[in-house]
Structure 1
Amino acid sequence: MAKQPVANPHDTRLRATAERLRAALDRLTRDSGSHSASASATARLTVAALAREAGVGRNAIYANHRDILDDLARAREHQRAPASGLTAEDRITKQRDLIDDMQQQNRQLATENAGLLRRAIEAERRAYRAERRSAQLTKELGSLQRPTILQSTKEGSVHS
């Protein structure tokens, strides 16, 4: 009987998070959810609602659980299918929820872009300083490599 390799803590944590996310997605997509958080979240199948329901950060979902994002998108499409029987108020509410979700995603992307811009500016500053220092060292090296003219003195010794 072959011995199973022991999973490292990172893999164990990823599996546990995936299980929590799948359970939360099941609760969110169920029509008759009696769970307190899922009752309010069933109207919105968003990453934020899924993260809240599972008790994990949204970034963890985006970074490590793309398959669950795909399942969430399919569930959202499935939920939208019977939209023709909805009242105008229900459609407006769904549209507002969608707008809220997109605005939140837009804010998150703006924050990420600002961080990347800050890092790029700092990298450019460091590169500029490195180029200046390189030019300075090249100049010093050039002056040190120039030949020195030795002059003789009256006593026969050589001085530079």
Structure 2
Amino acid sequence: MAKPPTANPADTRMRATAQKLREALDRLIRDSGSRSASATARLTVAALAREAGVGRNAIYTNHRDILDDLTGARQRQRAPTSGPTAEDKITEQRCLIDGMQQQVRQLATENAGLLRHAIEAEQRADRAERRSAQLTKEICSLQRPTILQSTKEGSVQS
């Protein structure tokens, strides 16, 4: 009678590792189904390797089918959302409002400073005009011809 072929030790070890990985993947999927966004983060090769008690290299080199199952489970966990919620929109709008209010305050401060400079410039211009008028008046008075009058003794008086 012929002996039944005995399993190769490497094949036996690989089947046992595959079994451990499948059980660990099932546990991770089951555990991540009850959690939120942090659960998706747990569906990683490192987490699977820790859960199964095997090295990551074993998954990458010998168990590509389990790696594909892990990727599929991760994609199923990331269900597409319908978009931002009302709370997200409100928060975003409040941030925009706060930013715009800050801009308004900054522009009001800048405007007040410019107004002060304009008022000071107008005051300086008024003073300069008054001084110019005064100097023009003095120049005119100095440029007027003066009549010289003669006196009895032959000297001239102005």
When normalised by structure 2's length, the TM-score is: 0.48
Structure showing greater Rg: 2
